[in-house]
Structure 1
């Protein structure tokens, strides 16, 4: 039986994108991995922004993921947390957030239609702009919450 793996094709490596885009993809993977991963994401935000501001930034990220999950065209496919590859759905997600946080909301809205139904694309682009700005700030300094994820733990898939 054939599996539908649209969105899983490896289109790049985490080492080929900016640090904040790699962080964004890693946060997406961790978040979708469950409570333990979500705790790591929270720790990143709390470490970088403090409790209060970290909670506000995390809420934006949560709303973005929840909106995608609620209005997705098809299930989003991701690679494993420790995988070096970037899957095509993850690349779409990162590009949408990058364009939005660069101020190109029209392009981000068009990209969003690859993930969610068109009626929700503009709102998703607006949320993406906020998340992108926050993620860029998140990686400006050292993030000790990621120290445990070493290259020796990275697998292909």
Structure 2
């Protein structure tokens, strides 16, 4: 298991460490979920000046500025699925499926209630764009498996 965070693992709060707890395997997610987690883990291949990368960065900026705590990811090469990663994948999935109320409830666990609708709108755009890309050019997502090395 390896973690990636803005701070060293020994400097993370107990709450942040809870967000890193493994809850499954990355391979258990849908294609859309794997793309979301790969973006969250820092895939340069997917973020590079793409619409997907821009929307994802806007969504993460909302989480950073208005989040209840810092979200934590596992390293790029780790097959574990952390709790925060699982919530993020589920959040995007719900928003993209038009389940805005459920997605908004999830968002309120992550950010302040007044900015939750903004996070949902960004997650909806993100999920729909990922789905459209996967349908039209699945090879465009092949870069999802490469990226930064993990911080241990």
TM-score normalised over the length of structure 1: 0.76
Shift in Å, 1:146 = 3.9
Residue 46 of structure 2: aligned partner = 41
Residue 9 of structure 1: aligned partner = 21
Contact 1:92 1:114 in 2 (8 A): no
Deviations 1:33-57 (A, max 9, x none): xxxx43x2234xx6xxxxxxx3x33
Alpha-carbon spacing, 1:104–1:118, altered in 2? closer, same or farther (3 Å) = same
Counterparts of 1:96-135 in structure 2, within 5 Å, are: 96-135=91-130
Q: 1:74 aligns with which of 69, 74, 99?
A: 69
Which ranges in structure 2 are unaligned for 5 or more consecutive residues? Answer: 1-9
Residue 139 of structure 1: aligned partner = 134
1:20 aligns with 2:51: no
Contact 1:23 1:139 in 2 (8 A): no
Shift in Å, 1:124 = 0.7
Count of residues in correspondence between the two structures: 135
Shift in Å, 1:6 = 2.0
Shift in Å, 1:20 = 1.5
Contact 2:25 2:80 in 1 (8 A): yes
RMSD, aligned CA: 2.4
More contact order relative to length (CA 8 Å, sep ≥ 6): 2
